[in-house]
Amino acid sequence: MLRITPAERTALQLLAEGKGRTELAASLGVSEVEVDARLMVLFRRMGVRTAREAAAECVRRGLTGARRFADVSEA
């Protein structure tokens, strides 16, 4: 089972909603460079390479409020 922090869950939820790194940075209170670094580590743990793959994986694992892949916009 993938264990994620509240900040990681927020980031994944925003990705699933189609938000970009600027919105993630603002929501998390960090720089866009820090968002990139955090996402790279999180993606590696999840076994994905892109935000779109991460969003789809979140839906599959039930980590976000999105209930189906169609709820996930292009990220």
For domain 8-62, give the CATH number: 1.10.10.10
> Mean pLDDT throughout 41-50?
93
Angle at 71 between CA 69 and CA 75, to 5 degrees: 85
Residue 72 clears pLDDT 70, i.e. is over it: no
> What is the structure's pLDDT at 58?
81
Residue 49 clears pLDDT 90, i.e. is over it: yes
Please report, for the chain, the start and end positions of each structural domain, with discontinuous segments joined by +. Answer: 8-62
CB 38 within 8 A of CB 14: no
Q: Which of 31, 22, 20 shows the shortest CA–CA distance to 73?
A: 20
pLDDT band, very low/low/confident/very high, at 59 (cuts 50, 70, 90) = confident
> Mean pLDDT throughout 19-27?
91
pLDDT band, very low/low/confident/very high, at 64 (cuts 50, 70, 90) = low
